Amino acid sequence: MWNVRSLYRAGSLTAAARELSRYKLDLVGVQVVRWDIWGTVRAGDYNFFYGKGNKRHQLGTEFCIHHGIVSAVKRVEFVSGRVSYITLRGCWCNIIVLNVQAPSEKKRFKRQFL
């Protein structure tokens, strides 16, 4: 797991695309993107499908898809600021990848005991 901290900062998307290329990854789910809009953008060899977080630049999920497999994308659905899924066309059946962001235990622990 790699913590990008936020893709809301300038240059973060380009840096993420460079790292994904370095590791030769085709599909990556990212949480806490912190963008207050939704859409698709291309950076390097990747298409980034991102979902809406909120006005305070919190939450938001994203899928990073290498341009070599982007034609297999059938559907990208952003259910909420924490949950999204992507459907890919496979040889025998469709493939569904779920992307879920959950609060960390550290935050829960602080709230409960402090």
Output the pLDDT for position 99: 87
Mean pLDDT along residues 78-105: 86
pLDDT in tens, 34-89: 666 677 888 889 988 877 665 655 667 778 899 999 999 999 988 887 788 999 99
The residue extents of the domains of the chain are 12-113
Output the pLDDT for position 75: 93
Q: Specify the pTM.
A: 0.73
Task: State how far Cα 97 lies from the chain centre.
Answer: 11
The answer to whether the beta carbons of residues 62 and 85 sit under 8 Å apart is: no
- CATH (residue range 12-113): 3.60.10.10
